[in-house]
Structure 1
Amino acid sequence: MEKLRNYAGVVALTLVLLTGCQAESETSESQEGGSQSSQEIEATVELTKNQGEEQVKEKDITVEEGTVLMDAMEENFEVEEKDGLINGIEGISAEEGEKKAWVYDVNGEEAKVGAAEYEIEDGDEIHFDFQSWE
């Protein structure tokens, strides 16, 4: 009878240990998978007016790799957007009939695509300027 009790105890202990190892393995796999799926990158966004004459705001941002500029702007600033174009940032937008707009460059080079298409890269220096387009 005592041998049966000992045997049952060993079986129960073995099951507990195996269940614990399996749960730990699944947790480790999910943590590893999470760290591989997204990496954070940093960029700086500067807002000015009249070709840099007036500083509006500057902010260091952190986003997930693969984030497009429009999404980052909407997460970090008050943005007015229509049809994929930024019409206002931080309450600054063109008045009715005024020929002004927000334009941006990245690392000193004029943007080749709209903010909804540009994918931010680590270390980017993004400069938005509210200026006349005449």
Structure 2
Amino acid sequence: MVRRVCQIALLIALALVSVVGCSNNEVAQNTSAEEKVENKIVVEVSSDQGKTKIAEKTIQFKGDQTLYELMKTNFKVEDDNGFITSIEDVKQNPAEKKYWLYEVNGAPAVTGAKDLKVKDGDVIKWDLHAS
């Protein structure tokens, strides 16, 4: 009787190890596949309503990223409490009421760069102009 109980307990333990081992492997495979997916955005930087081109880059990224994070890692950027005040050494000028503004896919931005989660295929246009 004791031998029979030990056999059943051993079978249950083996079954649990098999199930847990398989499920962890699937999660690891899904995670690594997601990490390999690269997204792209295009960032254009200009001034005076696009008259003067300053920079343009196609940026590849993985996972959730904000526009602010990508700007900081791909351009020379200065900010004041998260508001971008200079891109590629071109500074905004409050005395002339010139500020960095941006649009996403042709529409004016409705959030700050720190809050905008970029998506694959987005086209971001920064422009320094009088507001």
TM-score by length of 1: 0.72
* Aligned pairs (5 A) from 1:45-64: 45-64=43-62
Q: Which runs of 5+ in 2 are unaligned?
A: 1-23
Inter-partner Cα distance in structure 2 for 1:94 and 1:44: 22
Percent identical across equivalent pairs? 32
**Deviation, structure 1 residue 64:** 1.5
Q: Which runs of 5+ in 1 are unaligned?
A: 1-25
- 1:70-115: CA deviation from partner (whole Å, max 9, x where unpaired): 0000010000011110000000013462311100001000111000
Inter-partner Cα distance in structure 1 for 2:38 and 2:50: 29
State the Cα RMSD in Å.
2.1
1:36 pairs, out of 34, 37, 46, with 34
Letter in 1 for 2:77: V
**Deviation, structure 1 residue 124:** 0.4
* Aligned pairs (5 A) from 1:1-134: 30=28, 32-37=30-35, 39-95=37-93, 97-133=95-131
How many residues end up aligned between the 2 structures?
Answer: 108
- Cα 1:73/1:32, change in 2 over 3 Å: same
